[in-house]
Amino acid sequence: MYTSYPIIGDNTIETVRYTTSKHSADSGLVWINETQYFSGVPPQVWNFCLGNHQLCQKWLLDRQGFSLSKEDIQQYQRIIVLLKEIIDSLVEIQVEIQHSQLKNQKIFEKLQIIVAEQLGIEPNQVSLASNFVKNLGADSLDIVELIMVLESTFNIQINDKFAEEFSTPQQIVNYISQKVAV
């Protein structure tokens, strides 16, 4: 990403405003007075807030009435670049979270059917928080058979320690999610 400060002037911050660029909807202009501006500022960067502060705007407003030095201009441009990188990282994190949630949902849907078939109940009776023994009526033989079916279905090996400790579908979903790509 590239941002510029193309107009020569006194660099005094008089009024701060953002306008979209005539050339691209993906970037805009951050005006500091009637003639000078920073160009190439994406709207999501301009609108990015931390707490109650719109960072790009706040930085300039804190300097209102003063003239920006060359170093100030460069620092503001670095802030814009860094905020864009932060936003991109946040988007990547959100995508990963959504992918993980979708993966877990797919595992749970398979698990619901397997548990219902193994225990002779309806799939909608199986929730993530259900206790296999207390809520779903499973006994130790049912649990052993369930483990065998899960290992076969998901092509995984469930370790003995986990097999002895799990009690809910949520625990199984978490375990399988770590072992397979769905």
Q: Global pTM?
A: 0.72
DSSP type of residue 50: E
**How remote is the C-alpha of 16 from its chain's centroid?**
31
**What is residue 182's predicted lDDT score, i.e. its pLDDT?**
61
- At residue 17's C-alpha, the angle toward residues 32 and 22, to 5°, is 100
Residues designated catalytic: 139
CB of 76 closer than 8 Å to CB of 13: no
Domains (range + CATH), the chain: 17-68 (no CATH), 98-179 (1.10.1200.10)
Amino acid of residue 112: Q
Angle (CA) 175-179-182 rounded to 5° is 105
Encode the chain (182 residues) as per-residue pLDDT tens digits: 578 999 999 999 999 999 987 776 678 999 999 999 999 999 999 999 999 999 999 999 999 999 999 999 999 999 999 999 999 999 999 999 999 999 999 999 999 999 999 999 999 999 999 999 999 999 999 999 999 999 999 999 999 999 989 999 999 999 999 998 76
Q: How many Å separate Cα 171 from the centre of its chain?
A: 23
pLDDT at 2: 78
Burial class (CB in 10 A: 0-12, 13-18, 19+), 12: middle
Sign of CA dihedral 44, 72, 51, 98: positive
